[in-house]
């Protein structure tokens, strides 16, 4: 008898922000996505280098404001920065230590997620965690 798979849970959401064009898209889709869970908790995070003493929180603050407009969400969202040497490492460590069920990533072609320099960050995160990873990418304007 093949064992039945453990049902996926969609209650603890981690949304790393990088300020690229797809971060706002991920935030727009979140209210619909989290209906997959029963009692969803959302953490927005941004990875800062340990050397950044005063991280710029404007991207996180903007995202929180956007989500807070949806009253149903207000109690379930927190925004906390995390410090790590790389985005992938910061996100993977958070998922492992805090036990997030789902990671929502805005795929980006610039900014923090510059693939040429740092490799493919969404791929690194997806292969580094056991959680469900949802990759959000907007239409590429040509």
Q: Would you call 47 helix, strand, or coil by DSSP?
A: strand
Question: Looking at the domain covering 12-136, what would its CATH class be?
Answer: alpha beta
pLDDT, tens digit, for every residue of 33-51? 988 888 899 999 999 999 9
Which conformational region is residue 74 in: left (phi greater than 0), alpha (psi within -120 to 50 degrees), or beta? alpha
Segments making up each domain of the chain, as ranges: 12-136
Length of the chain: 142
| Residue 116, pLDDT score | 46
CB 139 within 8 A of CB 47: no
Tokens of 136: 């959000």
Predicted TM-score (pTM) of the model is 0.81
CB 63 within 8 A of CB 17: yes
- For residues 114 and 36, what is the distance between their CA atoms, to the nearest angstrom? 31
pLDDT, tens digit, for every residue of 63-103? 888 888 876 666 788 999 999 998 899 999 999 999 999 99
Label residue 140 by pLDDT band (50, 70, 90): low
């Amino acid at each position: 008898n093949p064992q039945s798979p453990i049902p996926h849970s969609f209650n603890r959401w981690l949304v790393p922000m990088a300020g690229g064009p797809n971060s706002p898209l991920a935030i727009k889709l979140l209210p619909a996505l989290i209906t997959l869970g029963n009692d969803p908790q959302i953490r927005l995070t941004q990875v800062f280098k340990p050397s950044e003493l005063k991280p710029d929180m404007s991207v996180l603050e903007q995202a929180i404001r956007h989500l807070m407009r949806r009253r149903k969400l207000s109690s379930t969202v927190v925004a906390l920065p995390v410090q790590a040497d790389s985005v992938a490492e910061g996100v993977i460590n958070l998922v492992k230590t805090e036990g997030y069920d789902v990671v929502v990533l805005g795929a980006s072609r610039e900014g923090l997620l510059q693939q040429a320099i740092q490799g493919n960050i969404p791929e690194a995160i997806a292969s580094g965690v056991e959680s469900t990873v949802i990759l959000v990418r907007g239409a590429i304007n040509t």
